[in-house]
Amino acid sequence: MPTGSQLRKWAAQVARQAGEELDDAVASRLLSIAEHYVELAEREEALNAYSDQSASSATPTVTHH
**In a domain? residue 35:** yes
Residue 57 has what pLDDT? 66
**In a domain? residue 62:** no
Look up the domain containing 17 and give its range.
4-56
**In a domain? residue 63:** no
**In a domain? residue 36:** yes
Residues 14-49: pLDDT tens digits?
A: 999 999 999 999 999 999 999 999 999 999 999 988
Residue 63 has what pLDDT? 63
**In a domain? residue 65:** no
**In a domain? residue 64:** no
**In a domain? residue 41:** yes
Total domain count, the chain:
1
**In a domain? residue 17:** yes
Alpha-carbon distance 50 to 23, whole Å? 41
Specify whether the CB–CB gap between 37 and 11 falls below 8 A.
yes
Residue 2 has what pLDDT? 82
pLDDT at 3 over 60: yes
Alpha-carbon distance 63 to 51, whole Å? 24
